[in-house]
């Protein structure tokens, strides 16, 4: 089983844009920190971890993890880019 690295918010937005995926956020889980990102059909395809205020002050911007089956089905993958975009 492949291990995928966590994506930043910017990487998620860029990957979604390139794949023509309309992002919207579902309700958070119990702790209010983990959110599912769902596609236009309501199928969850990523888990977003939002940092607490204290974590953000320490440089933690949170993270995004794509669900493996969605990545395989939609071919939504992070590509390394050397064109200087951030």
Give per-residue pLDDT as tens, 1-48: 555 565 666 676 777 777 776 666 555 555 556 777 777 777 777 777
pTM over 0.75: no
How do beta strands 44-49 and 24-28 pair? unpaired
**From start to end of 19-80, where are the E strands?**
24-28, 34-38, 44-49, 63-66
Pairwise CA distance, residues 73 & 86, whole Å: 27
pLDDT in tens, 59-78: 877 776 766 665 555 554 44
Structure tokens that stand for 57 in this block: 């002050």
Structure tokens at 46: 């990523």
């Amino acid at each position: 089983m492949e291990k995928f690295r966590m994506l930043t918010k910017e990487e998620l937005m860029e990957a979604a844009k390139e794949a023509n995926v309309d992002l919207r956020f579902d309700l958070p889980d119990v702790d209010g920190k983990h959110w599912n990102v769902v596609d236009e059909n309501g199928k969850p395809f990523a888990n977003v971890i939002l940092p607490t205020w204290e974590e953000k002050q320490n440089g933690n911007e949170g993270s995004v993890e794509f669900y493996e089956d969605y990545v395989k089905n939609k071919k939504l993958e992070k590509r390394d880019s050397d064109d200087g975009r951030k």
